[in-house]
Structure 1
Amino acid sequence: MSDPLVRTQANAQSQSQPTAFPFAPGPSGGAMRAAVDDALRNARTRLEQNDLVSARRLYEGVLTMAPDNIEALHLCGLVCLRQGDAVRAEPLIARSMHLGLRQPWNFANHAAALVGVGRHHDALAVTDAALKLDAVHPAVNAARGDALLGLERFDEAIAAYDAALQRAPGQPTAWSRRGAALRSLGRPADALISLDRALKIDSGDPATHIERGHTLRALERRDEALHHYQLATVVCGKTPALLHDSGVVLTEMGRATEALAVLDEGLKLAPHDKKLLYASCVALDQLHLREELLQRADRLLALDRNSTAAWVARGNALLGLDRHAEAAQAYSEALAHTPEHVDASRNCAAALRSLGRFEDALEHYERALSVASVNPELLYNRAVTLQQLGRYDEALTSHAEAARAPAETAQGLYTRAVALQQLGEHETALRDYERACERDPHHGAARRSEAYCRLLMGDFEKGWKQHEARWNATDVLLNRRHADRPLWLGAEPVAGKTVLLHAEQGYGDTLQFCRYASLVQAQGATVILEVPAGLAPLLGSLHGVSRIVSEADSTPAFDLQCPLMSLPLAFRTTLDTVPAETPYLLADAERREIWVQRVEAIAKPRRLKVGLAWSGNPRHNNDENRSLPFAALAPLLALDATFVCLQPQVRERDREALAASGVVSFGDVLADFADTAALVETLDLVISVDTSVVHLAGATGRPVWVLLPRAPDWRWLLEREDSPWYPTARLFRQTRPGDWPDVIGRVRDALIDTAQTHGYPV
């Protein structure tokens, strides 16, 4: 609603003939009249001093004595309007008009009150009537703009504001709401011009600061938007609405922890505010706090069982908790309410893929694509689903469509780059990763992928430097350890100092980069190595380490710290200087003897002994590309050899086939990586997809064949069958995305050649 035009009897006289407010005397005659006149004078003074509370009390008193006093009716209504109480204001102003007060400014105030109670059509009718009295009246045109703004007739609203501002350019509220209309039309840059005009007139107006915040958000100038929300908070205090706006923009800036704190403040003030609850769900999702997200989503559903957004949030929480069947059900509920909800269809497909229901997943991707058209993320995920269905040529076509799809958001650019890498177009992919980081500096996957793409292409100099930018992403920053202690990246001498090297990612990364410990020790440092508990026994054989602690142990004193995956940067590692001497890890001799006996007890005589790992951690972000079903190994298992399962955990989908295959599985006997290393040392060969087993075999110097997807992890580089990191490794790459049968066929031929070289039958 527009600022009502304040018209007391005194200021009315300055622009026209005096306006008489008729008085209906009560039974006490003159005394009553005197009391009323005195109250009206005092009320006018309070109103002119902007003491709205006192003015309202006085006008209410007059109306108690003289219920039809026109001046009291109108100005009490005006005061209520100024206080934000349009519900009380509207009938008072309407009554004053009914009793004969029908000047244009009176119509304008009535229209403002009607807008305030959401009666926009009635407000428009009131302003239309007023314009018949004065077609260019500024307040009436401004009120008409407010009514049209409420009706979302934005072009007409702008025209009305223009008419008002042409006659009275000093109206800050009209400028502000003109800006709101322009933003609603998708013209935020134009909106800023109007909003700046408003702030030049009234620099402290909170509504204008809020609207400027919304407009700056639309322009993706989020730091400035947050500043304006904070300026409004100084005036208005921490209202639920302002806390919501601040929390949302903080989430968009990648500052989800701060956002959640702000939104929780809002929820303390308004525990049942659905907008605040949903915004907190978004922040929790970004923070991967799945249990809390599930609770918030359920709180939202308790308020609104038909909320599509709440069902999607619940599905996201369940998907993150690996409760895939429940997640699929939650997304189905969302789709029941909003059948064309793209995110619900896409995420439901992801849950169904995790359940092995690939045909159903494909149907959901097609459903989402029918709404979103050429969306790179949907096309890419459809391609992966087609791979899982064995429809490799169709998958390749879908990857190509994803690579050609228009993309402007960071997520769209990131996904398009991933598809480009599936096609082998790594240079083009790199440009999309760079653009994604420009669009959203906090997009963790894009930041890491840009670095990994450079490393994959052999550009170690830029790749290692870019990799350090991973710490600017919210999802990695949450898990950063020892960030409050001095970081060593090779620049300063470490002789005589204690350096803590610590794991930051998976088991495989720890096994690969722990080799640098001896290089740090060679510079005169005392090295402490902090690793996951399951690796600690094996890494006790690592040269150059004074002490190994697990992440659950108390950390001993140290001077400097370095994450393991930052060590290649610290040592300025290039392809020619990779520290590739193996083995740098050794199995425990006693454990090895135990495993020799176990393997000899089950091994076929004069046959190859081959260890197998076909799937990794299902939570790995590229698991669907790097892992394969156990059944895909059937051509290998038909050969006459002893095959041993090296996976301590087998997925539900593979258990029955594994049990029937004849592959030896030691199950729970493999207690930790030290046991696995001892077992691997008894074997002739390890064949594995890209998991920690590969790194364990390579680190212990054992022959290992690595099965790689079309777009491999960065460490395996491009177009080569060997690895600078592991001299004993041989690489077998997909030629088409998802085409494991072709890879397994080549591995089978190589295995036959190896057996024949040893003089073994196959």
Structure 2
Amino acid sequence: MKIILNLEAELYFQQGLRQNKAEKFSEAIANFDKALKCKSDYPEALSQKGFALGCLGRHMDAIACFDLTLLLRADACWVWHNRAIALGKLERHDEALNSFDRALEFNFNSPTIWHNRGITLCDLGHYEKAIISFERTINLQPDAYWAWNNKGNALKQLGRYEEAVNSYDRAIEFDPNNVMAWHNRGASLSNWGRYEKAIVSFDRALAIQPDYYKAWLHKGITWEKLQHYSEAIASYNRALQLQPNDHVILYNKARCYALQNNIEAAIENLQQAIILCPEQYLQMIPTHSDFDKIREDGRFQALIQQPNH
């Protein structure tokens, strides 16, 4: 009887595996449950069920499955890893970090574990430590463009813009069409004060993915830094086509129009930004120097004196 149940469990498990690979996660879970009904101490089925649950966003349930798996097989490094991913999704980053460390106990030379550990350290704001984790990935897999990109992100957070740009350059070397690396490179160049080079990077990102609104937004911000307000507005307009309800874009447009002394357009965009986020902008605009040219205009005064709901 036990042999028959084990064979049935294996059959259901294999069906579940195929459904996981086909991203039919609900069906996969049903088959893993059938496998576990035949064989309750089946760590592979528990682990794969946890993976499927995580893919459906059911992270608490996924962690419960991973914990049961680890009771049966404490050295399962990828279960520790997937458990850490689920904990991170729940913003339980300290616990996630501990789980990644347990995974590394059993597979110290996994570039993926080191990389995802670095992401968690970034989530915790521990950027120096994150860089060390990303470098471990890179030492194990030098062409890991994703690790070069995220190392650049950590360096950017520390204000180490030249090093960040160098890291993005390595990411691009291994993946020339990586839109995020081109965008992030542009953002670092802009923060570093290399505005023209930043715009070139944003243009490269947009050549790859024309609907990447963040590149249009940050290109606009960089044009503003160069005091090229018409070009900034044109970039913001493209961003706004992709994200019509982004109050930051509307507010940035309003500032540019105010700096050009275009009162009507400034007021129109400010009104839209205020509708979307009144608390923020009704407190900010009365004293913001970018509105000095239009501050005495009656329409501006009426706008800033409306009640803050």
User: Does TM, scored on the shorter chain, surpass 0.5?
Assistant: yes
Specify the alignment match of 1:306 in structure 2.
211
Structure 2, unaligned runs of 5 or more: none
Residue from 138, 148, 153 that aligns with 1:243:
148
Specify the alignment match of 2:78 in structure 1.
173
Specify the alignment match of 2:167 in structure 1.
262
The aligned runs of 1:608-627 (5 Å cut-off) are none
Deviation for aligned residue 1:203: 2.8
User: Match of 1:375, SS?
Assistant: helix
Q: Distance in 2 between matches of 1:302 and 1:269?
A: 18
The answer to whether the 8 Å contact 1:154/1:185 transfers is yes
Q: Distance in 1 between matches of 2:14 and 2:118?
A: 28
The answer to whether the 8 Å contact 1:362/1:386 transfers is no
CA 1:292–1:348: 2 relative to 1, 3 Å: same
CA 1:221–1:156: 2 relative to 1, 3 Å: same
CA 1:372–1:192: 2 relative to 1, 3 Å: farther
Specify the alignment match of 2:283 in structure 1.
379
Q: Distance in 1 between matches of 2:211 and 2:133?
A: 34
Q: Distance in 2 between matches of 1:127 and 1:167?
A: 16
Residue from 212, 224, 231 that aligns with 1:319:
224
Q: Which has the larger radius of gyration?
A: 1
1:103-136 deviation digits (Å, cap 9, x = unpaired)? 6467556655654565544543442342332244
Q: Distance in 2 between matches of 1:333 and 1:245?
A: 27
Residue from 172, 182, 192 that aligns with 1:277:
182
Deviation for aligned residue 1:386: 5.9
The answer to whether the 8 Å contact 2:186/2:200 transfers is no
Q: Distance in 1 between matches of 2:11 and 2:147?
A: 32
The aligned runs of 1:78-117 (5 Å cut-off) are 104=9, 108=13, 111=16, 115=20
Specify the alignment match of 1:502 in structure 2.
none
1:389 aligns with 2:299: no
The answer to whether the 8 Å contact 1:380/1:398 transfers is no
CA 1:208–1:313: 2 relative to 1, 3 Å: same
Residue from 229, 244, 266 that aligns with 1:339:
244
User: Match of 1:313, SS?
Assistant: helix
Q: Distance in 1 between matches of 2:33 and 2:171?
A: 40
Q: Distance in 2 between matches of 1:109 and 1:237?
A: 35
Specify the alignment match of 2:234 in structure 1.
329
Specify the alignment match of 1:225 in structure 2.
130
The aligned runs of 1:362-511 (5 Å cut-off) are 362-372=267-277, 374-375=279-280, 379-381=283-285, 383-384=287-288, 387=292, 388-390=294-296
Q: TM-score, normalised by structure 1?
A: 0.36
**Alignment identity in percent?**
23
1:555-598 deviation digits (Å, cap 9, x = unpaired)? xxxxxxxxxxxxxxxxxxxxxxxxxxxxxxxxxxxxxxxxxxxx
Higher percent of residues as strand: 1
Specify the alignment match of 1:24 in structure 2.
none
Deviation for aligned residue 1:216: 1.0
CA 1:271–1:103: 2 relative to 1, 3 Å: farther
Specify the alignment match of 2:108 in structure 1.
203
1:353 aligns with 2:266: no
Q: Aligned pair count?
A: 301
Specify the alignment match of 2:66 in structure 1.
161
Q: Distance in 2 between matches of 1:277 and 1:119?
A: 34
Q: TM-score, normalised by structure 2?
A: 0.84
Deviation for aligned residue 1:258: 0.6
Specify the alignment match of 1:711 in structure 2.
none
Q: Distance in 2 between matches of 1:373 and 1:208?
A: 43
CA 1:295–1:255: 2 relative to 1, 3 Å: same
CA 1:386–1:236: 2 relative to 1, 3 Å: closer
CA 1:155–1:326: 2 relative to 1, 3 Å: same
The answer to whether the 8 Å contact 1:115/1:150 transfers is no
Specify the alignment match of 2:46 in structure 1.
141
Q: Distance in 2 between matches of 1:187 and 1:370?
A: 34
